[in-house]
Amino acid sequence: MHQSPVSISLSSYGADLVRQHGQAHFIPLVAAAGASWIEWREELLSDENPAELARSAQQHGLESVFSSPLELWQAQHREPHPALSATLQRAREFGAKRLKVSLGHFTAHHDLRSLASLLLRQPVSLLVENDQTAHGGRIEPFQRFFSAVEALNLPLRMTFDIGNWQWQEQSAVNAARLLGRHVDYVHCKAVRQRVDGKLVAIPPGAPELHQWEQLLQHMTPGLTRAVEYPLQGADLVQVTAEQVALLARLGQSRRETQAC
pLDDT of residue 45: 95
Three-state secondary-structure class, residue 41: strand
Instruction: Grade residue 260 by pLDDT with cuts at 50, 70 and 90.
Output: very low
Alpha-carbon distance 176 to 218, whole Å?
6
Q: In order of start, what are the domains of the chain with their CATH numbers?
A: 6-259 (3.20.20.150)
Beta bridge pairs of residue 159: 129, 185
Of the listed ranges 23-37, 66-80, 183-197, 240-254, the least confidently predicted one is 240-254
User: What does the pLDDT look like over 238-257, one tens digit per residue?
Assistant: 999 999 999 999 987 655 54
List, in sequence order, the alpha helices (H) in the chain. 15-21, 27-32, 50-59, 84-93, 112-119, 139-152, 172-179, 206-216, 236-249, 252-259
User: What does the pLDDT look like over 91-142, one tens digit per residue?
Assistant: 999 999 999 999 999 998 999 999 999 998 899 999 999 999 999 999 999 9
Cα 19 to Cα 23, 24, 35, 232, distances in angstroms: 7, 10, 21, 16
Q: What angle do CA 72, 15, 12 make, to 5 degrees?
A: 80
User: What does the pLDDT look like over 40-49, one tens digit per residue?
Assistant: 999 999 999 9
Instruction: Grade residue 1 by pLDDT with cuts at 50, 70 and 90.
Output: low
**C-beta neighbour count of 144 within 10 angstroms:** 14
pLDDT of residue 253: 61
pLDDT of residue 251: 86
